[in-house]
Structure 1
Amino acid sequence: MGNIFSLVRNELGKIYVMKSTWAMYVFLVALVLFSFIMNTVTDSVDSETTYTDDWRTELQEENQTLTEEIETAGEDDPFVESTNMGIIQQNTYMLENDIRPYGYHAGNFVLDNLFTTSLVSLFVIIIAGGIVANEFRWGTIKQLLIRPISRGTILLSKYIALLLFTLFTVVFLLATSAIVGAIVYGAPVVNPEIIVNRPDGMASNALLPEIFMQYGFRVLNIVVLATFGFMISSIFRSSALAIGLSMFLMFIGTTVAQAMARYEWAKYILFANTDLSVYFSSYGPIREEMTIGFSVAVIAVYMVVFIITAWTIFIKRDVA
């Protein structure tokens, strides 16, 4: 057991000793700051609105103002109607369910920054594509294999290090978004109720569970891509091939699955199942008969195949 801990620590050291890794983290911070700047420049969020203890009256007055804006705009500006009606429906839901609003705050900013996990996917794919292949390219694989440690243990340590790097990077992104959001927009009370869109319509959920759920779904998606890249890296010893194929699947996998949705067999495509958040949104899966349990099972089967393939070929490969 001590060997595996030592190997994982060594692999993480290899990842974090690279300047490119720290450049990735700097880029993540820059992206979060850019998100705040865009919110400010485009006025895409209303960070000025605050509510007092008399929030019910304030929401009713806001609904009345929004309704008057719709009547004033008329049919000449359908955008005003669609935007205002969405806010009115949300305010009405809060009034009916006794949910106090807090305006735009750090929690909203963290959820809005979910899109930045796509960049984390790219970072993890780059690491996954080279974590095994680079050992062959640099010639350091021999130094690993001459140790009195099994090849399976060596590969396992690399995979664990990859998963830990993924977790650390997502946590770093979460912390950065929360800190920037708290400084700029302020922090609400601990774990307030927020309004979310579910398959059955509008609903409410506590802030922290919603954040962990949404980011957890993204982590799962990243891990699947990382495992695929890890497999290709182990099989072909080419970081370029592993990174290229993984990125290709990341960008077109979901699109291909949606294009094939009319066929029943499309539900067995990996990327028709990797985004579990669709089961908690108004979008839904690509086919009606699909369930979250089914998608989890499909992901598990693919992951087992990826891992077994990587292990089998790595263990049996001759190293000159």
Structure 2
Amino acid sequence: MSHFFRLNQNENVKIYKRAGTWVMIVVLVLVVALMGAFTKFVLDSGNSADWKAELAAENAQLTESVEAAPMLEAQKKMVKERVALNEYRIENNIAPVERDSLWGYMVDTTTFTGIAALFTIVIAAGMVASEFSWGTVKLLLIRPVSRTKILLAKYASTLLFALLMLTLLFSTSFLFGILFFGFSGAETPYLSFSNGRVVEQNMVTHIIQLFGFRSIDLVMMVTLAFMISTVFRSSSLAIGISLFLMFTGPQLVQLLSQYDWVKYILFANTDFMQYTTGTPLVEGMTMTFSIVMLIIYFGLFAFLSLYIFNRRDVAA
């Protein structure tokens, strides 16, 4: 075990001694800060003193739309839940969360997990491929440590970098949120619809949940990039394929959502928000099913990485 931790430490040193790594960290912080400044000084807040009247008007429009046009059962369910949430806000005097507030801003910054994923993919793509391109792989493998431990140490270092990026994203969004918007509305709860009734949830818990759900796609795409880097020894190929799939995969499964078999595609299972909103991509899909599919894909990526790396002739 001590060998593994020493290997992991060495891999972390390799990551953080690169100037590019610190550039990515600075860019992430700057993006979060610029988002806060843009929301504060440029975007129209959309705040309304008469938000209750607006929600009542929205409910009337939603109810009319259900009665006027045919809808799928899933769509009707979403509309009814929306109406119930609006009614609960009106009855309990809970104003909607505005974008120019601490929580509204932090919810918006959860979308920047895509930037964290992009940067981590770049790191993952070079973890193994760079050893071959630089010719240092032989020096790495002459150590009295198994190839499996070497590869696992590299992957663990990659995940630690991903965790750092997510932690940095969460903490900086909180700090800049306080700086730009203060604590006004910090007591506002998050409302969700569960088991036929409206439920109040702590907003911090909800935001952490959003970060967690959005991180699932990050972990799977980073694992894919790491696998491609290991199998093909090409960082550019790993980055190219991973980024292409990350940006086009969700759109592809949406286009194919009318087919039942699409639920077996990786990208149909990485978005757990579809279960919290009650509208899965394919009717009958459950969170348990998606977890099983993700485990299968993860196991396949891990197996290919370990199998190829352990059997590869480094002299080739």
Is the shorter-chain TM-score for this pair beyond 0.5, marking a shared fold?
A: yes
Match of 1:168 among 164, 167, 180: 164
Residue type of the alignment partner of 1:226: V
Q: 1:29 & 1:199 partners in 2: Cα distance?
A: 39
Q: Aligned pair 1:194/2:196, yes or no?
A: no
Q: Identify the residue that residue 13 of structure 2 maps to in structure 1.
A: 13
Q: Identify the residue that residue 303 of structure 1 maps to in structure 2.
A: 298
Q: Aligned pair 1:262/2:263, yes or no?
A: no
Matches within 5 A, 1:58-77: 62-64=51-53
Q: Aligned pair 1:41/2:37, yes or no?
A: no
Residue pair 1:235, 1:313 contacting (<8 A) in 2 also:
yes
Q: 1:141 & 1:45 partners in 2: Cα distance?
A: 56
Partner SS state of residue 42, structure 1? coil
Q: Percent identity?
A: 39
Q: Aligned pair 1:312/2:279, yes or no?
A: no
Q: Compared with structure 1, are the counterparts of its residues 121 and 204 closer, same or farther at alpha carbon in structure 2 (3 Å cutoff)?
A: same
Partner SS state of residue 244, structure 2? helix
Match of 2:217 among 218, 221, 230: 221
Q: 1:221 & 1:16 partners in 2: Cα distance?
A: 24
Q: 2:36 & 2:23 partners in 1: Cα distance?
A: 20
Q: Compared with structure 1, are the counterparts of its residues 199 and 265 closer, same or farther at alpha carbon in structure 2 (3 Å cutoff)?
A: farther
Q: Aligned pair 1:233/2:229, yes or no?
A: yes
Residue pair 1:129, 1:229 contacting (<8 A) in 2 also:
yes
Q: Compared with structure 1, are the counterparts of its residues 37 and 199 closer, same or farther at alpha carbon in structure 2 (3 Å cutoff)?
A: farther
Q: Compared with structure 1, are the counterparts of its residues 251 and 43 closer, same or farther at alpha carbon in structure 2 (3 Å cutoff)?
A: same
Q: Compared with structure 1, are the counterparts of its residues 66 and 296 closer, same or farther at alpha carbon in structure 2 (3 Å cutoff)?
A: closer
Matches within 5 A, 1:118-133: 118-133=114-129
**CA-to-partner distance for each residue in 1:261-285, whole Å, 9 max, x for gaps?**
2222111000011111111126x22
> C-alpha root-mean-square deviation of aligned residues, in Å?
3.0
Q: Identify the residue that residue 26 of structure 2 maps to in structure 1.
A: 26
**CA-to-partner distance for each residue in 1:156-212, whole Å, 9 max, x for gaps?**
000111111111100001100000001111125877512357897965321121111
Q: 2:147 & 2:308 partners in 1: Cα distance?
A: 11
Cα offset, 1:44, TM superposition = 3.9
Q: Compared with structure 1, are the counterparts of its residues 2 and 252 closer, same or farther at alpha carbon in structure 2 (3 Å cutoff)?
A: same
Q: Compared with structure 1, are the counterparts of its residues 286 and 89 closer, same or farther at alpha carbon in structure 2 (3 Å cutoff)?
A: closer
Residue type of the alignment partner of 2:38: M
Residue type of the alignment partner of 1:230: F
Q: 2:235 & 2:10 partners in 1: Cα distance?
A: 20
Q: Compared with structure 1, are the counterparts of its residues 301 and 278 closer, same or farther at alpha carbon in structure 2 (3 Å cutoff)?
A: same
Q: 1:106 & 1:248 partners in 2: Cα distance?
A: 33
Q: 1:62 & 1:106 partners in 2: Cα distance?
A: 19
Q: 1:201 & 1:230 partners in 2: Cα distance?
A: 43
Cα offset, 1:26, TM superposition = 1.2
Matches within 5 A, 1:108-147: 108-147=104-143
Q: Aligned pair 1:294/2:293, yes or no?
A: no
Q: 1:260 & 1:100 partners in 2: Cα distance?
A: 38
Point out where structure 2 has 5 or more consecutive residues left out of the alignment.
Answer: 58-81
Residue type of the alignment partner of 2:155: Y
Match of 2:268 among 252, 269, 272: 272
Residue pair 1:107, 1:187 contacting (<8 A) in 2 also:
no
Residue type of the alignment partner of 1:296: I
Q: 1:202 & 1:100 partners in 2: Cα distance?
A: 15
Point out where structure 1 has 5 or more consecutive residues left out of the alignment.
Answer: 50-57, 69-86
Q: 2:93 & 2:56 partners in 1: Cα distance?
A: 21
Q: Compared with structure 1, are the counterparts of its residues 148 and 292 closer, same or farther at alpha carbon in structure 2 (3 Å cutoff)?
A: same
Cα offset, 1:63, TM superposition = 2.5
Q: Aligned pair 1:106/2:130, yes or no?
A: no
Cα offset, 1:107, TM superposition = 2.3
Q: Compared with structure 1, are the counterparts of its residues 98 and 42 closer, same or farther at alpha carbon in structure 2 (3 Å cutoff)?
A: closer
Q: 2:246 & 2:195 partners in 1: Cα distance?
A: 25
Residue pair 2:56, 2:86 contacting (<8 A) in 1 also:
no
